[in-house]
Structure 1
């Protein structure tokens, strides 16, 4: 199975080397069909009925994970809820403890160089 890295966001551009998913449906399809090295997730999406928290719930339910998951949402409440949902899945042995989980909010308009390093080192 082909390895890729996925960036879920409907506003920001994906870092170089990442596949952009703008909806949770696109992201789920990628999770089902590819070996995901790094999955970076936003909470707030233009489709108000489907957000990043709903995606992580579905990921846990269907056991669809990546080797590394970053929550990059600037929405502090939504991002923390996503992070906590995945951490709970790890504590309950639903998501493997070997998966590296990070909470690293990104500004909406640019990637600070220190943050960008996080994405470049993973590829």
Structure 2
């Protein structure tokens, strides 16, 4: 079964996505399902477990989606997440076929 996952603890989850409110929920979904689109926030309620920690975990444990979007409004942290994933691709730590985009969403 292929699903779309939206990691965010503040924004409304788009239709057609499963909401993960923290990185543990997101990891659980990555381990259980094939993910088509994974949309990630950086700043989460738990300040010590954020989106950058998640992308590092994903690369280390080879848990990926076909398409990954960083939607964090935190421009510095969002760019760090994007850069980390792109570098992982360049170093062949994750498939080069995975599309990665940086598209910040406003906090509504």
Short-chain TM bin: over 0.9
Check if 1:23 corresponds to 2:31: no
> How far has the Cα of 1:46 moved from its partner?
0.4
CA distance in 2 between partners of 1:95 and 1:87 (Å)? 9
CA distance in 2 between partners of 1:43 and 1:11 (Å)? 11
> How far has the Cα of 1:49 moved from its partner?
1.0
Higher strand share: 2
> How far has the Cα of 1:33 moved from its partner?
0.5
Structure 1 unaligned runs (5+)? Answer: 110-123
Residue correspondence of structure 1 range 14-93 to structure 2 within 5 A: 14-93=13-92
Provide Cα deviations, 1:9-34, integer angstroms capped at 9, x if missing partner: 00001110000000000000000000
Aligned residues: 108
Structure 2 unaligned runs (5+)? Answer: none
TM-score, reference length from structure 2: 0.99
Question: Runs of 4+ in structure 1 displaced over 6 angstroms?
Answer: none
TM-score, reference length from structure 1: 0.87
2:97 alignment partner, SS class: coil
Q: CA RMSD in A?
A: 0.4
CA distance in 1 between partners of 2:94 and 2:100 (Å)? 11
Provide Cα deviations, 1:31-75, integer angstroms capped at 9, x if missing partner: 000000000000000001100000000001001000000000000
CA distance in 2 between partners of 1:71 and 1:9 (Å)? 11
